[in-house]
């Protein structure tokens, strides 16, 4: 259906979008494809690499990390970091125990691209921590341990009259750690989130997509093992949080 409408001296032609009303559900898909194609075309004209180039580099990084974690699973090396809860409570002799690598895809103009890489691993200390907490600090202790993702058992000790004398926390010697790479194809930036990697904290860095090459990945593994901290100088520091959740 076409209409010609005279508006003053201008002639306006209205064209149907999406091929008619009989194709329900296709309009948004058509608009989305056109929108993403326009955005990608715009960014390719600037300093941002094409999404195909970024995707190829990220997939190569994924395969490299898979091999690295496989080797670490077999070696179970010691980790030369100090995982400190504060107040003198430190996990002794941390060691890499096991890890895995996962990925998440999305589509750009119909093509699948790798949007996120996640490295999950566990660090084991030589023994659990036993922490005695006075009544007024119990809630704070629980929130701190929960923020770091640590498992614990709490035991109450009471006075003869039933009032709380102290709580004893037995904290599991297993520390959950994570490294996440999230790719923003529109900007060409990669956000790297480190959770309990070199400390009991969440640290966020931003790197250009072109930096995700083998030397950077090698620096990451060295950071995980406590051999070197050069990885932290590779990108722009984007944040640090005391909690490891999220």
Domain boundaries, given as residue ranges, for the chain: 48-83+94-125+174-241, 129-171
Please provide the DSSP assignment of 22-54 as one string.
TSTTHHHHHHHHHHHHHHHHHHHTTTSPPHHHH
| pLDDT tens per residue, range 220-234 | 999 999 999 999 999
The 10 Å Cβ neighbour count of residue 84 is 12
Mean per-residue pLDDT, 195-199: 97
Confidence of residue 2 (pLDDT cuts 50, 70, 90): very low
pLDDT tens per residue across span 133-166: 999 999 999 999 999 999 999 999 988 988 899 9
What's the maximum distance between 2 C-alpha atoms anywhere in the chain?
96
Lowest-confidence segment of 44-58, 149-163, 210-224 by average pLDDT: 44-58
The answer to pTM > 0.85 is no
Nearest to 69, CA basis, from 122, 113, 114, 105: 122
Q: Which two tokens stand for residue 48?
A: 């941002």
Tokens of 230: 């050069």
Classify residue 119 by burial, with Cβ atoms within 10 Å: 0-12, 13-18, 19+: buried
User: Using an 8 Å Cβ cutoff, are 78 and 201 in contact?
Assistant: no
Residue 192 bridge partners (DSSP): 181, 205
**What letter does residue 4 receive in the DSSP assignment?**
E
Q: Which residues have a Cβ under 8 Å from the Cβ of 79 and sit 6 or more positions away? A: 94, 95, 96, 123, 224, 225, 226
Residues 6+ apart with CB under 8 A from 207: 189, 190, 192, 216, 234, 235, 236
Stretch among 9-13, 27-31, 166-170 having the lowest mean pLDDT: 9-13
Q: What is the pLDDT of residue 112?
A: 95
Nearest to 212, CA basis, from 179, 171, 174: 179
pLDDT of residue 162: 85
Q: How many CB atoms lie within 10 A of CB 7?
A: 7
């Amino acid at each position: 259906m076409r209409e010609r409408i005279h508006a003053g001296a201008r002639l306006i032609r209205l064209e149907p979008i999406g091929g008619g009303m009989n194709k329900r559900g296709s309009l948004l898909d058509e608009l989305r494809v056109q929108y993403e194609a326009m955005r990608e075309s715009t960014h390719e004209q600037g300093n941002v690499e094409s999404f195909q180039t970024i995707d190829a580099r990220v997939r190569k990084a994924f395969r490299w990390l898979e091999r690295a974690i496989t080797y670490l699973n077999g070696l179970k090396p010691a980790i030369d970091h100090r995982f400190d809860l504060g107040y003198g409570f430190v996990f002794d002799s941390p060691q890499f125990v096991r890890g895995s690598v996962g990925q998440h895809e999305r589509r750009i103009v119909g093509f699948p691209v790798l949007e996120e890489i996640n490295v999950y691993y566990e660090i084991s200390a030589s023994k659990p921590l036993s922490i005695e907490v006075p009544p007024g600090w119990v809630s704070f202790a629980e929130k701190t341990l929960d923020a770091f993702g640590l498992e614990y058992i709490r035991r109450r000790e009471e006075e003869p009259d039933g009032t709380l004398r102290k709580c004893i926390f037995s904290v599991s010697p297993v520390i959950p750690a994570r490294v996440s790479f999230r790719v923003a194809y529109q900007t060409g930036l990669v956000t790297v989130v480190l959770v309990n990697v070199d400390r009991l904290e969440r640290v966020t860095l931003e790197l250009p997509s072109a930096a995700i090459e083998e030397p950077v990945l090698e620096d990451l593994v060295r950071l995980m093992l406590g051999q070197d901290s050069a990885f932290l100088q590779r990108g722009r520091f984007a944040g640090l949080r005391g909690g490891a959740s999220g």
